[in-house]
Amino acid sequence: MLETFLEIHPEVQDAITNGQPIVALESTIISHGMPYPQNVETARQVEEIVRANGAIPATIAIINGKLKAGLSNEDIEYLGRKGTAVLKASRRDIPMIVSKGWTGATTVASTMIIAELAGIHVFATGGIGGVHREAETTMDISADLEELAMTNVAVVCAGAKSILDIGLTLEYLETKGVPVLGFGTEELPAFYTRKSGFGVDYRVDSADEIANILKAKWDLGLRGGVVIANPIPEKYAMDFITITRAIESALTEAKAKGIKGKDSTPFLLAKVKEITGGNSLESNIQLVFNNAKLGAQIAVELAKK
């Protein structure tokens, strides 16, 4: 039955069959992350970084109703050109998109789902979603957190996006039993910056150490993912005070305009980019490159276990 819905790229299927390391990559960064042709160029660069570090990339999307684990160059070009006209697909959207034969770019949550269906357990992205500010009244909590609680995929990211309530995001992950590991750090990075003021659960200093943790977790039958928080390289990190002020300004404007729910994150990220003169986009690209490299290194070590 699954074969009816899931289409695995031949290169990815060969890697699965032969026990080779594979890294899942999301597709919202292509359609919603940046303008064309930069989005396509970045997606291809990310795949090349995964390859250069010994793993096979599997960019994930839903194309014409098919769940795809691994995209062709034509698929990536198509998503890049269509841009925000492509639906952003989370868990709740998958049945509608598949049944209608539509196309959707996958978020963290839906990428995790499709990766696990294909047998891929390492996923590199930019940053995870989380608990939004004022969630105690709005109940605005990303589906990413629920997916991390139940889907066996490790997510390499630059922490939680700094537009979120990071403290509450960590509390939610703790409640759901999701380990938050800091790669070379005891402090959770906040996407554009290397610090947030909040600690991780455990510091880890090698891809091999991370692979051992993942194997132990899943061998014990403990369902759910692991957050591997990988700080943005110092060279590309933004000033903590500058980015904090930009976010506060963007949040104030969003509240005044009544922007909420799924529209809030793209609005806030666009405003931060505008306020910082575009520097945040370069930071975003570089942290994704950094996460792709670590994701590949982890996948290589996990494949040895």
Please report the domains of the chain, with CATH numbers, ordered by start residue: 1-120 (3.40.1790.10), 124-305 (3.40.1790.10)
- Residue-wise pLDDT for 147-197, tens only, equals 999 999 999 999 997 778 999 999 999 999 999 999 999 999 998 899 999
Most confident of 32-36, 136-140, 141-145: 141-145
pLDDT, position 262: 66
- Indicate which residues carry an active-site annotation: 26, 161
Whether the predicted pLDDT of 21 surpasses 90: yes
From 100-114, 178-192, 229-243, 271-285, the region with the lowest mean pLDDT: 271-285
pLDDT band at 33 (very low <50, low <70, confident <90, very high): confident
Bond from prior residue into 179 cis (ω within 30 degrees of 0): no
Taking residues 287-300, report their average pLDDT.
98
pLDDT band at 96 (very low <50, low <70, confident <90, very high): very high
Q: What's the chain's average pLDDT?
A: 93
Whether the predicted pLDDT of 84 surpasses 90: yes
Please answer whether residues 181 and 229 qualify as being in contact, where contact means their C-beta atoms are separated by less than 8 angstroms.
yes
pLDDT band at 278 (very low <50, low <70, confident <90, very high): low
pLDDT band at 261 (very low <50, low <70, confident <90, very high): low
The set of residues, in sequence order, having a beta carbon less than 8 Å from that of 235 and lying 6+ positions away, is 286
CB atoms within 10 A of CB 83: 16
Burial of 272 (0-12, 13-18, 19+ CB in 10 A): buried
pLDDT band at 18 (very low <50, low <70, confident <90, very high): very high
Rounded to an integer, what distance in angstroms lies between the CA atom of residue 215 and that of residue 212? 5
Rounded to an integer, what distance in angstroms lies between the CA atom of residue 234 and that of residue 225? 27
- Express as a percent the part of the chain with pLDDT over 70: 98
- Residue-wise pLDDT for 188-205, tens only, equals 999 889 999 999 999 999
Please state, in angstroms and as integers, the Cα–Cα distance from residue 133 to each residue in 110, 138, 142, following that order: 23, 9, 12
